[in-house]
Amino acid sequence: MLATEAIMRALAARLGEDPEEWGLAGLGHDLDAEETEGDFTRHGAVAAEALAGLGLPPAVTRAVAAHN
């Protein structure tokens, strides 16, 4: 996950986006991998739900939720 965070931060910087938000999305994108065990109908949604209560920017949780 740390590699994905670094890649997302670099992409954001190159594209003129917010590296902090993109990095957080990269860090959390597979947060639910063990719980969903390859069930891609739930993967992303479960992680986004776990992240929702942390006060992260809505764009971060939307990006994680859309990651299937």
The domain ranges of the chain are: 2-66
- The SS3 of residue 19 is helix
Q: pLDDT per residue over 7-58, tens digit each?
A: 999 999 999 999 999 999 999 999 999 999 988 889 999 999 999 999 999 9
pLDDT band at 68 (very low <50, low <70, confident <90, very high): confident
CA distance 48 to 28: 8
Model's pTM, two decimal places? 0.87
pLDDT band at 64 (very low <50, low <70, confident <90, very high): very high
Strand ranges for the chain from DSSP E = none
- The SS3 of residue 57 is coil
The pLDDT of residue 27: 94
